[in-house]
Structure 1
């Protein structure tokens, strides 16, 4: 009787211990997986931010437009719905003075070679700001690390 009670208690203890070990192992695996997932996400975000910064095109505003009270803000480069790849520049212009003139945009690749031009009649009142779309030809592609001169 004592040996069967001892055997039953030993079996119950073993089963409970195995379940506890299994639960603890599962918790450890889940915590480790979560930590790895967070680290991987942070790594990927850091890499993509670094790529964005090194490959981003740069906007340069001419001194002439600055004296006429124009500043730039955000810009985007997209595919033109009429055809072409990365040939539509949307530029946010800020008017510190009244302005009504034609604005010219030239694009230079990373080697300093001109790749395209566009022009647009731009009108704005002092204190206003707006987005303007500069459309380039279908063969123009505003590449990474391009320099965009606004005159």
Structure 2
């Protein structure tokens, strides 16, 4: 009888110990998986940021426009709804002085070859800022690592 009780207690302790080992193992796996997931995410974000910096378009504003109180902020390049691929430049323009004139924009590829031109009449009062759409021809494609010159 004593042997049966000891054997039963031994089985209970063994089962409890196994469950505890299983729980600790699962916690360790989860913690390790979380660490691997964080590392992978940081790696992917770093690669993405590196690609963005390498492929981004450079915007250069002429000294005449700067002297007229203009500066640029955020920009985006998208497909023109009227046709073409990556041929619509949306540019945020900031006015430090009153301004009303036609602005010309030239696009150059990564080799410095001109690929297109656009113009738009722009008007703004001192202290204002707004987004302006410069539409290039249907065959113009503003490529990665291009340069945009605003004159």
Q: Does the pair score TM above 0.5?
A: yes
Match of 2:42 in 1: 42
Question: Which secondary structure state, in structure 2, belongs to the residue aligned with residue 43 of structure 1?
Answer: helix
Q: TM-score, normalised by structure 2?
A: 0.97
Match of 1:88 in 2: 88
Match of 1:54 in 2: 54
**Distance in 2 (alpha carbons) for counterparts of 1:34 and 1:88:** 42
Instruction: Output aligned runs, 1:68-83, within 5 Å.
Output: 68-83=68-83
Question: How far 1:83 moved relative to its partner?
Answer: 1.3
**Distance in 1 (alpha carbons) for counterparts of 2:123 and 2:70:** 11
Question: Which secondary structure state, in structure 1, belongs to the residue aligned with residue 17 of structure 2?
Answer: helix
Question: Which secondary structure state, in structure 2, belongs to the residue aligned with residue 11 of structure 1?
Answer: helix
**Distance in 2 (alpha carbons) for counterparts of 1:21 and 1:94:** 64
Question: How far 1:92 moved relative to its partner?
Answer: 0.7
Aligned residues: 151
Match of 1:6 in 2: 6
Question: Which secondary structure state, in structure 2, belongs to the residue aligned with residue 6 of structure 1?
Answer: helix
CA offsets per residue over residues 60-82 of structure 1, 9 Å max, x none?
Answer: 00111111111111111111111
> What are structure 2's unaligned runs of at least 5 residues?
none
Question: How far 1:19 moved relative to its partner?
Answer: 0.6
> What are structure 1's unaligned runs of at least 5 residues?
none
Instruction: Output aligned runs, 1:99-118, within 5 Å.
Output: 99-118=99-118
Match of 1:131 in 2: 131
Question: How far 1:33 moved relative to its partner?
Answer: 0.9
Runs of 4+ in 1 over 3 A off after TM superposition: none
Question: How far 1:96 moved relative to its partner?
Answer: 1.4
**Distance in 2 (alpha carbons) for counterparts of 1:8 and 1:57:** 74
**Distance in 2 (alpha carbons) for counterparts of 1:88 and 1:17:** 67
**Cα RMSD (Å) of the superposition?**
0.9
Question: Which secondary structure state, in structure 2, belongs to the residue aligned with residue 75 of structure 1?
Answer: strand
**Distance in 1 (alpha carbons) for counterparts of 2:89 and 2:122:** 14
